[in-house]
């Protein structure tokens, strides 16, 4: 019964992401990824050292050497974590019969979750790019919608936030769906809570939002953003995955990384940005965190911030 329940819970996730698992060489499938590391850590593949970063793929026979000041956490496709401490040597082996093997293990963490299948993380790793061109800012109005932005949300009565513009006295907020106006409001602040007398937003539906205003007698309109309220089924799956991650992840960095990737996969970009910023505050020296934040900023529409994080990523990669 447990197996059947687990299958139905994860069937959509597995259907979407199994075809995207990472391949290396001739049909060699990645069996694990790095979720966090610190200090001196070396990874060798076929006798050659490979660059270390978060979300890099690990394959059978990869060798991990952890120095006296080092530590690393890896995540297998099965959802099992392994934490390797100082002075540890470990060889990755393929998953066999649901168990992962290796030579020397400092600590093994099993959170006891039966539902954690982190395939969305492996898809993200397979789509990594070593560099991107700078994006060009196209919004010249000066006002930018910060929440919800081009994203998904979980609230049926959300809070709206946008940037302020000097000399603007009033903003007009408008929410529409398929040409029908859901609500409008005239406000002087840049934060607006969804009114209780407005019809609640519907789950699974997409809405558009824009801000109008006047600056020094000249009218302007913000870029229109489109946001979607997650469906009830999506919310249930999201909450189960969140609980599984929080139970299983052996450290703060791994937990935040997996939550950030989960939010990104569900287009909860505002929450993903928050988690990536928390990651960077914990481990600013890991390049991938800056690259991932750059990608999410770009998807969200924050082009200047995207370029800034991309620059940091490239500088860190040069130093590695």
Q: For residue 278, list its beta bridge partners.
A: none
**Residue 249: strand, helix, or coil:** coil
Instruction: For residue 207, list its beta bridge partners.
Output: 227
Name, of 8-12, 83-87, 161-165, the range with top average pLDDT. Answer: 83-87
Which pLDDT does position 308 carry in this prediction?
93
Give the rounded distance of the alpha carbon of 260 from its chain centre. 3
- CB 263, CB 271: distance < 8 Å: yes
Mean pLDDT throughout 1-9? 39
Domains of the chain (ranges; CATH) run 2-126 (no CATH), 155-229 (2.60.40.10), 238-319 (1.25.40.10)
Interatomic CA distance for residues 262 and 56, integer angstroms: 17
The single-letter DSSP state of residue 124 is H
Query: Which tens digit of pLDDT belongs to each residue from 276-293?
Result: 999 999 999 999 999 999
Q: How confident is the model at residue 113 (pLDDT cuts 50, 70, 90)?
A: very low
Pair of tokens at residue 74: 């890896």
pTM for this prediction: 0.74
The encoded tokens of residue 212 equal 């109008």
CA–CA distance, 80 with 93 (Å, rounded to integer)? 14
SS3 content of the chain, % helix, strand, coil (to 5): 30, 30, 40
Distance CA 85, CA 38 (A): 10
Element (H, E) at 16: helix 2-17
Classified as helix, coil or strand, 35 is strand
Q: Could you give the CA distance from residue 153 to residue 136 in angstroms, rounded to a whole number?
A: 26
Percentage with pLDDT > 90 across the chain:
41
Residue 181's pLDDT is what? Answer: 92
Q: What is the pLDDT of residues 246-259, one digit of tens each?
A: 888 889 999 999 99
pLDDT of res. 130: 45
Closest of 129, 126, 130 to residue 23, by C-alpha: 126
- 187-209 pLDDT, tens digit each: 988 899 999 899 889 999 999 99
Residue 110: CB partners within 8 Å, gap ≥ 6?
A: 80, 81, 248
Q: Where residue 301 falls among pLDDT bands split at 50, 70, 90? A: confident
What is the pLDDT confidence band of residue 218, given thresholds at 50, 70 and 90?
confident
- The answer to whether 198 touches 162, Cβ cutoff 8 Å, is no
pLDDT of residue 106: 38
- Per-residue pLDDT tens over the stretch 9-48: 333 433 333 444 444 444 578 888 899 999 999 999 999 9
pLDDT confidence of 70, banded at 50, 70, 90?
very high
Mean pLDDT, the chain, whole residue set? 79
Q: What pLDDT, on a 0 to 100 scale, did the predictor assign at position 96?
A: 56
CB atoms within 10 A of CB 208: 15
């Amino acid at each position: 019964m447990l197996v059947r329940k687990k299958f139905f819970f994860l069937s959509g996730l597995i259907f979407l992401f199994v075809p995207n698992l990472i391949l290396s060489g001739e049909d060699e499938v990645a069996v694990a990824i790095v979720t966090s590391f610190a200090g001196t850590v070396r990874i060798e593949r076929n006798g050659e050292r490979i660059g270390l970063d978060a979300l890099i793929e690990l394959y059978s026979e990869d060798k991990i050497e952890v120095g006296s000041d080092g530590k690393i956490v890896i995540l297998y496709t099965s959802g099992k974590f392994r934490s390797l401490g100082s002075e540890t040597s470990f060889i990755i082996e393929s998953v066999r019969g649901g168990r992962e093997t290796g030579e020397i293990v400092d600590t093994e963490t099993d959170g006891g979750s039966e539902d954690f299948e982190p395939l969305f993380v492996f898809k993200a790793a397979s789509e990594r790019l070593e560099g991107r061109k700078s994006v060009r800012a196209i919004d010249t109005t000066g006002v930018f919608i910060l929440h919800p932005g081009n994203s998904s949300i979980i609230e049926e009565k959300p809070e709206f936030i946008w940037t302020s513009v000097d000399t603007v006295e009033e903003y007009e907020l408008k929410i529409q769906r398929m040409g029908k106006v859901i609500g409008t409001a005239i406000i002087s602040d840049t934060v607006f809570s969804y009114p209780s007398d407005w019809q609640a937003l519907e789950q699974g539906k997409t809405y558009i939002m824009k801000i109008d205003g006047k600056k020094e007698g000249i009218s302007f309109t913000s870029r229109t953003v489109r946001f979607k309220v997650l469906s009830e089924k999506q919310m249930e799956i999201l909450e189960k995955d969140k609980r599984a991650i929080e139970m299983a992840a052996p450290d703060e960095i791994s937990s935040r990384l997996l939550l950030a990737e989960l939010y990104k996969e569900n287009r909860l970009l505002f929450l993903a940005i928050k988690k990536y910023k928390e990651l960077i505050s914990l481990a600013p020296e890991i390049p991938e965190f800056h690259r991932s934040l750059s990608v999410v900023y770009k998807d969200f529409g924050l082009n200047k911030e995207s370029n800034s994080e991309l620059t940091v990523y490239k500088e860190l990669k040069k130093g590695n």
